[in-house]
Amino acid sequence: MRLTSSLRVAADIPRLWRHPRASRKQIIAFQTRRLQELVRHAYDNVPYYRRLFDEAGIAPDDIRELGDIERIPITTKATLQALGGSDMMARGFSASNLVARETNGSTGVPVVVYRQRFEQLVPALFLWRVRRELGLRRRLRVTFLTRFGHAKSPSLVSRVRSRLKRAAGIQSWTLVECTAPMEQVALHVKESNPDIIGGYAGVLSRLAHELGEDQTEIRPRLILSVAEVLTPAMRAGIEKTFKAPVRDIYACYELGLIASECAHGGTYHVCDDNVIVEVRNDDGSGIGELIGTSLHFAAMPVIRYQLGDIVTRGPAYCGCGSPFNTLSSIQGRMNDYFPLPDGRQLHPYQIGTAVWTAAFDWMYQYQVVQETCDRVVMRIVPRRIPADDEVAAVARAVGEVLGPAVELVVNLVDDIHDEINGKYRIYRSLIEREQDD
């Protein structure tokens, strides 16, 4: 059965559903078999990987077991960006018959990822499996704080309609725009009466701070944190406000689900049947940069991909008995709110939207640093030398988001240096705030 076949995805569903109760030996056998198929498919059908293998002097038959994967050169975000997707697509596919998504993850490098439509089911399957492992039933009400939710205050009619749908079991998901003013976010969350609240760690922390530790109106069973680093202080503050446990999910669009926190807390279960995770380090500490290989995406295979996140390996086995490998912590992926002179707490994704709209054609990478409450510096590494009016368009778009009281400085630079931990944040506020300590 071909790796690119929709029948393969369908055949995988019962197997992947059973894997949390399988043995480590069975998981390794699945990984090995799928890796061999993936490498052969990539070499035979993807121009980039054929060149990569030939230049490294290796052939698909050289990859016989999991340890052999280290013979394959690493692929970076910069490589994917430079290729623009065409050389990464398998033979027989074109951008017109695939689902394209732009993602810049935690490093600010824009990458276009292509998927077959039925491949989109794979990440959803793994998320449903996590939901099952956490003991969450189908009809539980889920409120998710996202960039693509509702931002306006709900009208009386819409509130009544939503309540009737939820009562009838027709509607269980509510999406709330996370970049809206936090009082509006809080109102939407209260109206949705959630059993589960999910969202970016920073947004959840801000919501908890907005509601206060003594709030009693919102009592979810579980909080799901995604997309940003969940610090111990954030976790403590969120759990104290909502009187519910927080569980973290680690994923990216290029690879899908990477790991999810054990239902009992503590360690993260690596999603070994979705991705092969390597932790690169030279000192034997178990702390290093994550290199991931996706096992299910055939239209645009991702093999030994340098994601840019720093992680720490956990114990060989989780105490819950899971057969999967573990991580003990994840560093990176954190976005700061920007406190502004007019009293707003600006979520930096609003800046990101303005940046992409104005500069995607000529920008390679960027970083936005809030030095003081009324001064923000934006550094851009250009892909080509932009015209003056193109730079002015970026400054104007970002300036409209920040407001007239903030001085915005836009600098074109040759490089953006990493932080001490080996990576940098796209958005960083240097203003200390008590709730983020």
Tens digit of each residue's pLDDT (9 = 90 or more) over 116-137? 988 888 888 898 899 889 988 7
Alpha helices per DSSP H over 365-415:
388-402
Name the pLDDT band for 173 (thresholds 50, 70, 90). Answer: confident
Which of 384, 381, 379, 382 is closest to 395 using CA atoms?
Answer: 379
- C-alpha span between 109 and 254 (Å, rounded): 13
CATH for 338-436 is: 3.30.300.30
For domain 6-97+254-330, which architecture applies? 3-Layer(aba) Sandwich (3.40)
- C-alpha span between 294 and 3 (Å, rounded): 12
Task: Report whether pLDDT(215) > 70.
Answer: yes
Range among 4-13, 60-69, 336-345 with highest mean pLDDT value: 60-69
pLDDT in tens, 315-339: 999 999 999 999 998 876 556 789 9
Name the least confident of 31-40, 113-122, 166-175, 204-213. 166-175
For CATH 3.30.300.30, the residue range(s) in the chain are: 338-436
pLDDT of residue 423: 44
At 109, list the tokens. 């490098």
Q: Supply angle C-alpha 289, 26, 263, rounded to 5.
A: 60
Alpha helices per DSSP H over 272-407:
349-359, 388-402
pLDDT in tens, 44-75: 999 999 999 999 999 999 999 999 999 999 99
Which of 257, 276, 251, 309 is closest to 39 using CA atoms?
Answer: 276
Between these two residues, 51 and 355, which has the higher pLDDT value? 51
pLDDT of residue 314: 95
Domain 125-250 maps to which CATH number in 3.55.50, 1.20.120, 2.40.50, 3.40.50?
Answer: 3.40.50
For CATH 3.40.50.12780, the residue range(s) in the chain are: 6-97+254-330
Whole-model pTM: value is 0.78
> Stretch 233-241: mean pLDDT, rounded?
89
**Residue 137 CA: distances (Å) to CA of 142, 151, 243:** 11, 27, 20
Angle of helix 201-211 relative to helix 232-242, nearest 10 degrees, comes to: 40
Scored b (16 or more CB within 10 A) or e, 12-41 reads beeebeebbebeeeebeebbbebbbbbbeb
Q: Quote the percentage of the chain above a pLDDT of 90.
A: 50
At 300, list the tokens. 């645009």
pLDDT in tens, 253-293: 899 999 999 999 989 999 999 999 999 886 777 888 899 99
